[in-house]
A and B are shown apart, each in its own frame.
Chain A
Amino acid sequence: MTAVVAGAPSRLEPVRRFGRQFATIPGGVAGLVILVAVTALALASPLFIHSSDLSVVNASGPSLSPPSWRYWLGTDQPGRSVLLLVIWGARPSLAIGVIATLCTVCIGAVIGLLAGHLGGLSGRALMAVTDWFIALPQLPLAIALAAVLGQGDASITIAIAVTSWTTTARIVRAQTLAVEARPFVERAHALGAGHRQVVLRHVLPNVAPLILVSSTLTVASAILSETTLAFLGLGNPTDVSWGAMLNQAVGQGAVTRGAWWYLLPPGVAILLVVLGFTLCGRAIEAVLNPRAVR
């Protein structure tokens, strides 16, 4: 048994090759390092941050004071440590970004696959809907949805998913059309494969890498949308997220009082994470599809 496996190329070989090529792109490695560090910090944060550190009522520090030895990034108005808030803020921002992206990619992939596979009138109708959604301005639609659904993480997630699936749908459709034109799909048809068999066993595996690339880039824009919606006051009011922090900073007069230590950290954190996802996405794209990136 082992002898047979050793003779055949390992199933992991493509993954290893991908890893080696990815490692040669400095931007991608930098992005991956940022993401791993932020994710690790976010996952580990319950170990050293207690709910009392985040509570407005129990805060013990000085009000809106600049960075000091005790509070490395200063404090907000009720006296909470900005450093701890920023670390904790990674949790909702990343979670909503990733969940919204999963929804986005699922909707986009299903519509793209269907539009590409079915073709004809139904395919054209699906693409017409997609085109229409692309032209629609995203934020007003997201604001309208989130406002009607009420404050909270769920409505922000739904609003982001409903407004951003179009790019994935277009990419997936184009790739589906390209794959379906290849001879092996025709062979599968000739051997009696049904729609389900063709789409799931033959088309999907060939479209999946592109879905991966597109979802990495989608996380970046989903996190940006999440922070924007939270900043506008649509998030869960008791949550500590980066957008909500900036909303509170403005509400507490951090701008007029020159409290740069309260304004800078959440924005820099957003910038780093979005940059991390964008750099990673570009590097994956460069490895999987060298012609698309220049």
Chain B
Amino acid sequence: MTSDTAVYLARKIGGAVVSFAVLLVIGFVIFSLIPANPLETLTRGRAVSAAQLAFLRQELGLNQPVLERFWSFAWNTLHGNLGYSWQFQTPVATLIGQRLWPTLLLTGSAMIVSLIAGLWLGVRSGWRPGSPLDRVATGVSLTFWSVPTFWLGLILLSLLAVGVGPVPALFPAGGMSTPGTPGGLAPSHILDVARHLVLPCLTLSLVIFAQYVTIMRSSVIDELGSPYLLTARAKGLRDAQVRRDHAVPNALLPTVTVIFLQLGGLVTGAITVETVFSWPGLGYLTYQALQIPDLPLLEGTFIVFSASVIVMNTLADIVYRYLDPRVRRQ
């Protein structure tokens, strides 16, 4: 590792640390300063005596100065102590730990499916802009971009899981596994989860797939007039070889940046899709917290979602350096 790389890494990681600090400030402002009277929300619909209110105020640290409250909030968050959920009567960190894996499974599989399909279609349609395939691809991706994710999920759900008219119910309507079946790594359980995964994964994939097609298409079009493609053709390479070996690697660079920048969109999709399909992940947890509203739980999911995006963006910067020789040389 050269000193250059070390400086680059230190800068990026330092930037991420600053981002996380700002995130803590914003989380504190939203959840601790904006709610005018958290005690009222907490004790809504119950008779509470003045002594109990005073106890709660003491318990939540509401009578301390703002700065002190912020430090104790930051200290607790950094130690994984995200508070106590009002609704589940469980530590928020435990809840998030339980719900993390389903979300990773859903977003990860959707990302792989849409990356493969989206990049393939984007390259094909960008290579011959204006061709019938390109028109269909552009129209389809524009339509999927305009559709609210949750509505697409609802339609797929009523079409394929409930069955309309002659279409039988093909997939389970919600959840992650059939209740009462043995869990663990038994093959039957894995198959069961996979069957439950199909519809939410399809919904999420269709929406992000549309974005990938658009980005890849425009990056390929940007490369079309480049002299190096002319050179490659002049060498006598076949069209498919020029595309695969010369145009695509260059067009991939801007695409990678945009894909990582849009990870926030993946989180958004996960929240709505998990809500529609009752997929027991972080998104559904956010929805459940929203119904109360369970502020400590909402705060926890907000911080986890945002922190994961910060981490992924930092990783993207680091990966990018290895992908693009020009950035390495700077």
Please give the residue numbers on chain A whose beta carbons come within 8 Å of chain B beta carbons, in ascending order: 132, 134-141, 143-145, 147-149, 220, 224, 227-228, 231-234, 243, 246, 249-250, 254-256, 258, 260, 263-264, 266-267, 270-271, 274-275, 278, 294
What is the CB-to-nearest-CB distance from B18 to chain A, in angstroms, rounded to a whole number? 9
Neighbouring A residues of B265 by C-beta, 8 Å: 137-138
B82 contacts chain A at the CB level, 8 A cutoff: no
Picked from B154, B305, B310, B313, the residue with its CB within 8 Å of the CB of A263 is B154
Contact residues in A for B151 (Cβ distance below 8 Å): 227, 246, 263, 266-267, 270
Tell me the B47-95 residues at the A interface (CB within 8 Å). Answer: none
Instruction: Known contacts A147-B298, A231-B148; decide if A139 and B267 are in contact (CB<8 Å).
Output: yes
Q: Report how far A72 CA is from B162 CA in the complex, Å.
A: 24
What are 12 residue pairs bridging A and B, where the CB atoms are less than 8 Å apart in the complex?
A132-B19, A136-B23, A138-B268, A139-B272, A140-B268, A144-B30, A231-B150, A249-B154, A250-B154, A258-B158, A278-B145, A294-B221
What is the CA–CA distance of A234 and B289 in the complex, to the nearest angstrom?
A: 12
B interface, CB within 8 angstroms of A:
19, 22-23, 26-27, 30-31, 34-35, 129, 142-143, 145-152, 154-155, 157-158, 162-164, 173, 218, 221, 261, 263-265, 267-268, 271-272, 275-276, 286-287, 290-291, 293, 295, 298-299, 301-302, 305-306, 309-310, 313
The distance from the CB of B174 to the nearest CB of chain A, in whole angstroms, is 10
A136-B150 in contact (CB<8A) = no
- Given A135-B313, A232-B290, A264 contacting B155 (CB threshold 8 A): yes
Q: Is the CB of B267 within 8 A of A140?
A: yes
Q: Which of B30, B263, B290, B309 contacts A233, CB < 8 Å?
A: B290
* Apart from A137-B264, A144-B302, A255-B154, 19 more pairs, CB < 8 Å: A135-B261, A136-B23, A137-B263, A140-B267, A140-B302, A143-B286, A147-B290, A147-B295, A224-B146, A228-B148, A228-B149, A232-B287, A256-B173, A258-B164, A263-B158, A267-B147, A267-B154, A267-B155, A274-B147
Q: Nearest chain-A residue to B291 (Cβ)?
A: A233
B154/A275 in contact, CB under 8 A = no
Q: How far is the CA of A141 from the CA of B30 in the complex (A)?
A: 9
Residues of B within 8 A of A260 (CB): 158, 164
User: Which of B148, B275, B295 is A148 in contact with, Cβ under 8 Å?
Assistant: B295
Closest chain-A Cβ to B6's Cβ sits at a distance in Å of 23
